Copies of this chain bind each other. A is one copy, B any other.
Amino acid sequence: MPSKQIYLGVIGVGGVGTSFLQQLSKLPSPPTLVLLARSSQTLLSPAPAYSPAIPAGDWQTASANPSLTKSGALSPSEIVSYLSSAPSGSRSVLVDNTSDPALASAYPQFLKAGISVVTPNKKGFSSDLSLWKDIFASAASGGALVYHESTVGAGLPVLSTLRDLVATGDQVTRIEGVFSGTLSFLFNTFAPVSASSEAKWSDVVSQAKDLGYTEPDPRDDLNGMDVARKLTILARIVGLQVQSPESFPIESLIPAELASLPGTAAGIQEFMTRLPEFDGQMTALKEQAEKAGKVVRYVGSIDVAKNEVKVGLQQFDKDSAIAGLKGSDNIISFYTQRYGSNPLIVQGAGAGGEVTAMGVLADLNKVLERL
């Protein structure tokens, strides 16, 4: 296939961003990296020649290169303007490796200008329905592409599979799964299938926090919002008009008494200190499930016919795939007309810099194939 010249702007050099740049640098024929932005710094290849390129594998020392332009933080409009000045016949792609809602809400600007967007950032796809619609309408009008596989299940083939099912005319009836690596780890440890565990909930949370499996404030995992955002995306792909992740029931695992503690270091510490007061409630839930020969898990589900999205605790048979999940794995089951009573299942690590970046890079490869 004849391939156009592709110019790449990458925002974010956190865990995912760093892995992405590393993986990008090892592609046999990578696109030309011309913009690399981190919080307050932007590195640019001088326009309009877009030369020299920024070396993706060596970006940390590239800012010392006098041939590259250094700038402070650029606004989304400024980035659109820079990337859309690419020479005629070439195309530009934005890779957003942040979780920034402001940048996400500017995707329509990029897309209308013909700049494709690849991102693991959930915000653009799981906020107001109007933004979702604006993103896809803008892509169509600008002749640009949007890929966001890593917004659900990191590098696992979740969205691509669901889009294929829908595009080929299968009827998706139900989607169910464990969508949070953090909550997967917490429940697999707190209520394992194989042995009855004496573990206290607060100890498990504390352990996960120490291992870096939770957000700095574990309440950002325990509130269920991350799972709700993923369900919002899946439901919209199936065609449900979900207004926002707040428009369906989310069962929060934060005790009401601790919800209003501030998100400061002191507030987080007080949360962790007081969490043991509520261990009895979680143990009761675990024991109740055990009496029924089951285990408790934190899941999301979509019932398409009922137009119902739910996020929260449910009991599962011990020999079910969800109960048998290991470590911090995700599992997503698609029930469809064609697949019948046994769902199509995708399972594996659903978080982590390397596998998330892999999903972003695989998306970028698809965009490069199509542009």
Interface residues of A (CB under 8 A from B): 1-2, 23, 26-27, 143, 145, 155-157, 160-161, 164-165, 167-170, 193-194, 319, 321, 324, 326-327, 329, 334, 338-349, 352, 354-355, 358, 361-362, 365, 369-370
Write the chain B residue with the least CB distance to A320.
Answer: B324
Chain B residue nearest in CB terms to A328: B342
A97 CB to nearest chain B CB (Å): 15
Q: Which residues of B contact A348 (CB under 8 A)?
A: 334, 339, 342-345
Chain B residues lying within 8 Å of A321, measured Cβ to Cβ, are 321, 324, 347
Verify B346–A168 contact, CB threshold 8 A. no
Given contact pairs A155-B164, A329-B342, a sample of 19 additional A-B residue pairs in the complex whose CB atoms are under 8 Å apart = A1-B145, A23-B168, A155-B344, A157-B157, A157-B164, A157-B346, A165-B358, A168-B358, A194-B319, A324-B324, A326-B342, A327-B341, A327-B342, A338-B355, A339-B349, A344-B349, A345-B345, A345-B347, A369-B370
Residues of B within 8 A of A167 (CB): 362, 365
In the complex, what residue of chain B is closest to A371 when comparing beta carbons?
B1
Of A319, A343, A358, the most chain B CB neighbours within 10 A belong to A358
What 7 A-B pairs come out closest when comparing CB atoms? A344-B348, A164-B362, A345-B347, A168-B361, A338-B354, A157-B157, A168-B358
